[in-house]
Amino acid sequence: MSTAKTVIVTGASSGLGFAIAKAYLERGDNVVGNARTMARLEEAASKLGNPANLLLVAGDIAKPQTAKALFEQAIAAFGKVDVLVNNAGIFIAKPVGDYTEEDVDAIVSTNLKGFFYPAQAAAAHMSAQGSGHIISITASIAMQPNVKVPALLPVLIKGGLNHAVRGLALELAASGVKVNAVAPGIIDTPLHPSDAQTQAALRSLAPSGKVGSPQDVVDAVLYLSDTSFVTGTILPVDGGATSGTW
């Protein structure tokens, strides 16, 4: 009997989502990858070697029909869904007065709606089967704001998601569904400029004086999707940045 899990990963075409999808595929699990366009998903699939256990489902994750399609197609292909990784998100850091209406709409759509609709679909499916894991990628700056990084919108939305994770964990605890989050700090991805001055500034944002790697986040996600007794936890992966001041 196969022990492979079926894992939905949103924002799977690049960055942390790509790394997370790759890790589950390497474990022999089935992965259902979502991104806004099929072209980006197909490019990512090509980099992964177009494995047979990777299903691509394109669509705007802020739309409820995309979440519905993800679960319907995953169940049709693999029978059930064991893990949802709500990874899709954007980060816009700027002084509060500089935010535009477009910034607000973008973050609400991707970070808030992109969490809610997949989590809603996962709660229904996983509660019915009596097991499952919902894991969200939030942000450590929402746990401990930093004057060096003015980012009210991410703090507002990701901070709300951190509390929503705890609330949903309580709501679903009796059904056997675990709900957790990973809250990354500064992670070394192509999102950040590679010049020496910027990299030094990024390293200064954690007391360890380091930036994390995508593998650090992957390891945290895999731990949470394997656990049988951890739920309602926000796990910082941030070099100690949420521990206090330094």
pLDDT in tens, 2-61: 689 999 999 999 999 999 999 999 999 999 999 999 999 999 999 999 999 999 999 999
pLDDT of residue 193: 82
Instruction: Return the residue matching tokens 């709606």.
Output: 113
- DSSP letter at 110 equals I
The one-letter amino acid code at 169 reads: A
What pLDDT score was predicted for residue 219?
Answer: 98
By the 8 A CB rule, do 108 and 159 touch? no
Question: Who contacts 177 (Cβ-Cβ below 8 Å, separation ≥6)?
Answer: 122, 123, 126, 127, 131, 132, 133, 134
pLDDT higher than threshold 60 for residue 1: no
Query: What pLDDT sits at residue 245?
Result: 79
Report the percentage of the chain scoring pLDDT > 90. Answer: 92
Q: What is the mean pLDDT of residues 63-90?
A: 98
| More confident position, 201 or 225 | 225
- pLDDT for 201-221, tens place per residue? 999 999 999 999 999 999 999
Q: What is the pTM of this model?
A: 0.95
Mean pLDDT within 157-176: 98
pLDDT of 87 above 70: yes
Contacts of 167 (CB under 8 A, 6+ apart): none
The pLDDT score that the predictor gives to residue 244 is: 83
Query: Is the pLDDT confidence value at 156 over 80?
Result: yes
- pLDDT at residue 194, rounded to an integer: 82
* DSSP state, residue 151: B
Mean pLDDT over each residue of the chain, to the nearest integer: 96
Mean pLDDT value across residues 156-168: 97
Task: Give the pairing of strands 54-58 and 30-35.
Answer: parallel
pLDDT at 246: 74
Structure confidence at residue 95 as a pLDDT band (50, 70, 90) = very high
- pLDDT band, residue 236 (cuts 50/70/90): very high
Name all domains of the chain by residue range, CATH numbers in brackets. Answer: 6-236 (3.40.50.720)
Residue 158 neighbours by CB under 8 Å, 6+ apart: 89, 111, 138, 139, 141, 142, 183
